[in-house]
Amino acid sequence: MNILQKLAESFQKFPGIGPRQARRFVDYLIKEGEREIRNLSEQILELQKTVRQCPECGYHFATDDGEGRCKICRHPNRESSLLLVVEKDIDLENIEKSGAYKGRYYILGTTIKDLNEIPEAKKRFETLYNYVKKSIGEIKEVILATSATGEGETTAVYLERILEPLKNSGLKISRLGRGLSTGTELEYSDSSTIKNALENRK
């Protein structure tokens, strides 16, 4: 296997990238030349140095001041009684853009399909349960904001099941309401759709 094929295979590991798109990426880099390749390489390496994962919500953020938590978790005016659970970082970013939610977040970083294959996936589900259990009283409602896909729905059902025992302590568990059509992923939803889904949660 030559370098062109190896690089194309690496690009195919990216979410949503097929063989043809991967090959286009390789062709683009060839045409751009050494400077573009060098800049891209440096930026990728910089990720390891400056990007951290918030120990509280799981969000990945860039920092150069050594701060351990993300800005959302550090913000004193966020509504601490609400915890919204999303699948990906980009879901959080899209919800923040809508301005419809002022509570806190928890990013799974995975879905139920990875539960038996990736050890870290199981840990994220367990960490969510322990975090909510420890914060009962402060956290009054957990909003499950998984995508309206088959995988997202199955993940939400599983989350409801593992959080169910905490309802005896007064915890409310809700899901996004009407607004998200079947098959929709949060990262592609517009602000008004997200706002309606949050307002009509049940």
Q: What is the pLDDT of residues 46-55, one digit of tens each?
A: 887 888 899 9
Q: What is the pLDDT of residues 4-58, one digit of tens each?
A: 999 999 999 988 899 999 999 999 988 887 888 889 889 988 887 888 899 999 9
Residue 168 predicted with pLDDT over 80: yes
Residue 163 predicted with pLDDT over 70: yes
- C-alpha 157/C-alpha 81 separation (Å) is 22
CB 179 within 8 A of CB 200: yes
CB 186 within 8 A of CB 147: yes
Query: CATH for 3-49, among 1.10.10, 2.60.120, 3.40.1350, 1.10.8?
Result: 1.10.8
Residue 182 predicted with pLDDT over 60: no
The β-bridge relationship of strands 141-144 and 103-107 is unpaired
Q: What is the pTM of this model?
A: 0.79
State the pLDDT at residue 199: 73
CB 171 within 8 A of CB 141: yes
User: Do the domains at 3-49 and 77-199 have one common CATH topology?
Assistant: no
- C-alpha 11/C-alpha 9 separation (Å) is 5
Residue 181 binned pLDDT confidence (cut-offs 50, 70, 90): low
Query: What is the average per-residue pLDDT within 59-85?
Result: 89
Residue 162 predicted with pLDDT over 70: yes
- C-alpha 102/C-alpha 99 separation (Å) is 7
- 77-199 classified as CATH 3.30.300.180: no
Residue 68 binned pLDDT confidence (cut-offs 50, 70, 90): confident
Buried residues in 113-150 as b, exposed as e (16+ CB within 10 A)? ebeeeeeebeebbeebeeebeebeeebeebbbbbbbbe
Buried residues in 3-30 as b, exposed as e (16+ CB within 10 A)? eeeebbeebeeeeeeeeeebbebbeeee
Q: Where are the domains of the chain?
A: 3-49, 77-199
State the pLDDT at residue 178: 57
Residue 179 binned pLDDT confidence (cut-offs 50, 70, 90): low
CB 58 within 8 A of CB 128: no
